[in-house]
Structure 1
Amino acid sequence: MLTLRQLSYFLALAETRHFGHAAAKVHVTQPALSMQIREMEASLGMPLLERGRELRLTPAGREVAARAARVLAEVREIETMARRRTLGGQINIGMIPTVAPYLLPDLLPRLPLQLRLREAQTDRLLTELRDGVLDAVVVATKVRPDDLVVRPLFRDRFLLAANAARLEALPSVEDLRPVTLDPEQLLLLDEGHCLADQALEVCGLERRGTRLDLGASSLSTLAGLVGQGVGITFMPEIAVPTEAAAHPSIRLARFSAPEPARDVALIGRVSTAAEPWFATLAGALIQTAEQRLALCP
């Protein structure tokens, strides 16, 4: 009889095509994984792998891998449901790093839910949401996946952040537009951060067109550099109250209409978005964001 352990081991092997890598992924020794796979083949009475110089799935192996993925996804859904419905159960939430530190301090005290936070970039969060590792994610993306439920939360406008000298050197602060900025002065977050991609998009630039690609992993790092006069950057409104207070030498300027912005949304699977906590979380996020955005100049 097949076991969930065997299915998870085989799925890891199907994804990595390497016994050692698969064993590391599921945190077992390679001999233990190999034994479980052989027992699985014996139980089914058919080979699932073509063992040779390169590891390949047989046609039956490909079908088993696809079905195993669906079975394990359903099992995670059951575990998630049980965890949430158990008293004191927690909800696993993902947030992008350019939102989490600015919303969470005000969000958590007013939220009647026990959250466990995963902070990561958008692609990773959406993958973990689909895999059932996360119950919902807060991201800023134009993509509206057909297999997920998207609840818009708020529009987060971008301001230009610079020190006083660089701001005064701009040709026209009264008619400030992203496309008129000097890309040689633009500081960006590390590659993969959606905020960096959005900043480049509104400026009509590619990453290689900027002089200072510092690989910074946080807005706070960029704010400190900007305050020291190293360059200029885009500052989302949601971050302004925190970063302006932490870095008094920063000066902010609004862009002319239409102001560049990003749309932040709460995204969940169909099953999780139908549960009461999803609406509660969305409402608390909207209220927290509105109060924070009201503090911006």
Structure 2
Amino acid sequence: MVALPSSQQLRYLITLADLKHFGRAAIACSVTQSTLSAGILALERQLDTPLLDRKVGKRVVFTPLGEEIVRRSRTALEALEALHQVAQAAREPMTGPMRLGVIPTIGPFILPRLVSLIRETFPRIRLSLTEDMTERLMEKLTTGRLDVLLLAMPCDCEGLETIPVWRDPFILVLPAGHPLASWPEVPLEKLVDEQMVLLEDGHCLRDQTVDICRQGNGWTGSEPDINHTASSLHTLVQMTAQGLGVGLLPQLAVDSGILAGCNVVTRPVTGGPMWRTIGLGWRQKSPRSAEFRALATVLGQLAPSGDALLPQTDA
């Protein structure tokens, strides 16, 4: 009988391919570096082929066949994990571990309520949370390190099944003495000549802000001329308060009290669809799809009044 690779060996291989570093891969797998290296070597002996190019020094470089083995290992490990998930979901729905990823422009403003709601509604779920940018969360989801994502749409969600949960309107934030602060509502085209403070590259909210302002028919090309970028919405608010520009904030952040103590004002913007959609995403054909849909329905309770996109339920 052919000796087949173990799920642990496949996990070592996939993690090494993702992180391109033996030490970090070992930490991610909760083993020593020597254990991970031995597992990879044993896998190469079983397959009777080199998976890594060891002539390139300390860099982790896979052979062409190694890249193909990694790709097939992802599929195989996902299928193995699905066996357990199918059995567990059929036996006891909404129980056991659920690894949820959330983006930084949602997480700080919703996690306390989200955690309490899940604990109350699904007490047998063991929730674990990871906050990161969309691209990295997607990678962790596709490699099996996360189960479901809470993200802002539209997004590049290839390979995911997604469901919208609620709309999160955008609000214009201005320095208190700004000329537009005297307007009860600000037309979108008025932002064309304004210096905008944006989040740094990698945040989907940055791209959404640029897309919205393009609707004012004043921004052309890849994006406007930006002098000030922020690593978080809290920093964006502080930059705005110092008169460095104006910004767009999601209502979720405003409702959480992010503006407290800052010398800024907010105004609604008219002239275009001024919102993002908050939704859940998971791997296509996941055996837990029904559970994630039930979770999405419950999370609709966190939506601002009238902005839920799904019928709400108490269980």
**Correspondence for 1:57 among 56, 63, 67:** 63
What value does the CA root-mean-square deviation take over the aligned residues? 3.4
Residue 211 (structure 2) pairs with residue 201 (structure 1): yes
Structure 1 CA distance, aligned partners of 2:64 and 2:158?
Answer: 31
Letter in 1 for 2:208: Q
For the Cα contact (< 8 Å) 1:99–1:238, is it kept in 2? yes
Letter in 2 for 1:107: L
Letter in 1 for 2:228: L
Residue 112 (structure 2) pairs with residue 105 (structure 1): yes
Matches within 5 A, 1:24-43: 24-27=24-27, 32-43=35-46
Structure 2 CA distance, aligned partners of 1:146 and 1:56?
Answer: 25
How big is the shift at 1:65? 2.8
For the Cα contact (< 8 Å) 1:149–1:267, is it kept in 2? yes
Change (3 A) 1:75 1:235: same
**Secondary structure of the structure 2 residue equivalent to 1:186:** coil
Please name the residue that 2:191 is paired with: 181
How big is the shift at 1:123? 1.0
Letter in 2 for 1:209: D
Structure with the larger helix share: 1
Structure 1: tracts of 5 or more residues without a match: none
Please name the residue that 2:79 is paired with: 74
Structure 2: tracts of 5 or more residues without a match: 309-315
**Secondary structure of the structure 1 residue equivalent to 2:96:** coil
Residue 271 (structure 2) pairs with residue 271 (structure 1): no
How big is the shift at 1:279? 2.8
How many residues matched? 285
Change (3 A) 1:75 1:252: same
| Residue-by-residue CA offset, 1:252-288 (whole Å, 9 max, x unaligned) | 111113242212211122325523x323321222121
**TM-score, length-scaled by structure 1:** 0.79
How big is the shift at 1:172? 8.1
**Secondary structure of the structure 2 residue equivalent to 1:192:** coil
Structure 2 CA distance, aligned partners of 1:110 and 1:56?
Answer: 44
How big is the shift at 1:170? 3.0
Please name the residue that 2:313 is paired with: none
Residue 225 (structure 2) pairs with residue 222 (structure 1): no
Structure 1 CA distance, aligned partners of 2:280 and 2:205?
Answer: 17
Letter in 2 for 1:110: L
Structure 1 CA distance, aligned partners of 2:294 and 2:80?
Answer: 25
Residue 224 (structure 2) pairs with residue 212 (structure 1): no
Letter in 2 for 1:65: V
Please name the residue that 1:161 is paired with: 173
Letter in 1 for 2:238: G
Change (3 A) 1:90 1:191: same
Please name the residue that 2:145 is paired with: 133
| Residue-by-residue CA offset, 1:8-52 (whole Å, 9 max, x unaligned) | 344455567x7xx23541346666555444433333344545543
Please name the residue that 1:151 is paired with: 163
